[in-house]
Amino acid sequence: MVAAIVVFAASCVRTPPQVAPSAPPAPSVAEADPASPRPVPAPAPSAAPSPDAPPRLSDDEFSSRTLEEINRASPLEPVFFGYDSIELDADALEAIRSNMTTLESYSSWSITIEGHCDSRGTPEYNLALGERRALAVRNHLVDLGIDANRIRTISYGEEFPFTPGEHEAAWASNRRAHFVVTAR
């Protein structure tokens, strides 16, 4: 019975907004109509700033975001490696330079560089290789001028593949250094 009263009360609350749109054609409800058109124009201007809001966010899109939102947006590029390698090739160096620029723009950020490997090799070997990969990227960022105190490293070896599978495309995407913003 209480549920019936709640449903009835909720339906009564919903009825006035439905009556308000039908009230403008009726001359007897003219007093209520001027009040409802005034709120209607207010939402119309707020709809115009909504399309403008994304460009404003692009100016400093990370200033109001949480760490989770920042990391979901992936502002820092992963660095990929060859098989059983810690060598930074031209693509890796380009990604590191791009990340350096981002880190210079957001000088309050601290990051963790995660070293990852494909599933080939023993778990112990892959943990060590992942650590060497993370350190290679960290050391290059430090050489480029990023403060070493802003960067932590960790290795996950083969534990968290980016792409599941036992084929070259999956292995190639899993041999990486992944960046996580840990403080802003």
Indicate whether 95 and 150 sit together in one domain.
yes
CA angle 181, 52, 35 (to 5 degrees): 125
> CA–CA separation, 41 vs 163, rounded Å?
49
Indicate whether 12 and 91 sit together in one domain.
no
Specify the pairing of strand 151-157 against strand 110-116. Answer: parallel
Indicate whether 120 and 33 sit together in one domain.
no
**What token pair was written down for 42?**
């207010």
pLDDT digits (tens, 9 = 90+) for 107-149: 999 999 999 999 999 999 999 999 999 999 999 999 999 999 9
**What token pair was written down for 173?**
């995407």
> What pTM was computed for the model?
0.68
pLDDT of residue 62: 83
- Asked if 40 and 20 touch (Cβ cutoff 8 Å), the reply is no
- Amino acid identity for residue 105 in this structure: S
Q: Does residue 31 sit within a domain?
A: yes
Q: Does residue 55 sit within a domain?
A: no
Query: What's the structural domain count of the chain?
Result: 2
Indicate whether 32 and 70 sit together in one domain.
no
Domain of 25? 2-47
Label residue 63 by pLDDT band (50, 70, 90).
Answer: confident
Indicate whether 71 and 138 sit together in one domain.
yes
pLDDT digits (tens, 9 = 90+) for 144-181: 999 999 999 999 999 999 999 999 999 999 999 999 99
DSSP classification of residue 178: E
Indicate whether 93 and 175 sit together in one domain.
yes
Q: Does residue 76 sit within a domain?
A: yes
Q: Does residue 107 sit within a domain?
A: yes
Q: Does residue 30 sit within a domain?
A: yes
Q: How many CB atoms lie within 10 A of CB 25?
A: 8
Indicate whether 107 and 170 sit together in one domain.
yes
> CA–CA separation, 176 vs 92, rounded Å?
10
pLDDT digits (tens, 9 = 90+) for 67-116: 999 999 999 999 999 999 999 999 999 999 999 999 999 999 999 999 99
Q: Does residue 61 sit within a domain?
A: no
Indicate whether 83 and 167 sit together in one domain.
yes
CATH number of the domain at 99, please: 3.30.1330.60
Q: Does residue 111 sit within a domain?
A: yes
